[in-house]
Amino acid sequence: MKSVSKTLLAAVIAGSVAFIGVNDIQTAQAANAAANQTEATAENQQQPPRINIDKIAKEIAEIYGVKESEVRDALNAKKPLDDIYYAAMLAKVSGKSFKKVLSMKADWWDVQDELGITEEQIHTVMEDMMISDISVRSNVPEETVRKLLKEHYHPRDIRIAGRLANAAHKDIQSVLDMKKINQRWRDVANELGVSESLVRPRGPIEEQEEASEENNTAEQSQ
């Protein structure tokens, strides 16, 4: 039986949040936790808003290319989120339906083996998803994004540098070169004479990345 690293599994469970930053995982977790409340306490507890389930189902369907209705059914059936995310990933890699893969679950490692999926295949799919997302968010060609990632640039830096480069009509590499260790991206935006709004986080994942960057910069300046 093939083993899947904890890091990889965590990324899949998070809906590839760590890589592509498109799922509102906090909303998903809150909705799923509420959905699992017992009937005995249902009257005294707020049930998950319908819009949350619909939003999560839509996001997962769009990211992994599975049927939204099947994901919604799984959420309504109170299936664990980790199972839903992992089934969606295996469905994307294998070409099987989400419903079929989810029904196979006994041990996910066994399901992965039964589908003939290797860890390398999952990594490849997740990398392609990440590159596509960065490209869309930054308006930078996918081949450029792939090259920069291989050169060990952080996805957040590529996204922001791409936005700034497009606004300033500059080459992305020249913008990346402008950022020094103790600088913030807003400083680079000011140097380029473009709006700082291009640097502001877009969604919860980018907000987390921004907070992390602020902490790192503060520590380096001490």
Per-residue tokens: 65: 């290319």
Give the domain extent around 35: 6-118
Total structural domains within the chain: 2
pLDDT, tens digit, 9 for 90 and up, residues 81-112: 888 988 999 999 999 999 999 999 878 888 88
Q: Which of 126, 5, 10, 29 has the alpha carbon at shortest distance from 80?
A: 29
**What is the rounded average pLDDT of the residues 202-207?**
63
What is the distance between the alpha carbons of residues 154 and 25, in angstroms, rounded to a whole number?
A: 21
Half-sphere exposure for 1 (CA within 13 Å, toward CB): 9
Task: Take residue 213 and report the two structure tokens written for it.
Answer: 């960057």
pLDDT at site 178: 93
Tell me, yes or no, whether 112 and 176 share the same domain: no
Instruction: Looking at the structure, tell me whether residues 150 and 104 fall in a common domain.
Output: no
Q: Determine, yes or no, domain membership for 129.
A: no
pTM of the model: 0.60
Kindly state whether residues 168 and 99 are assigned to the same domain. no
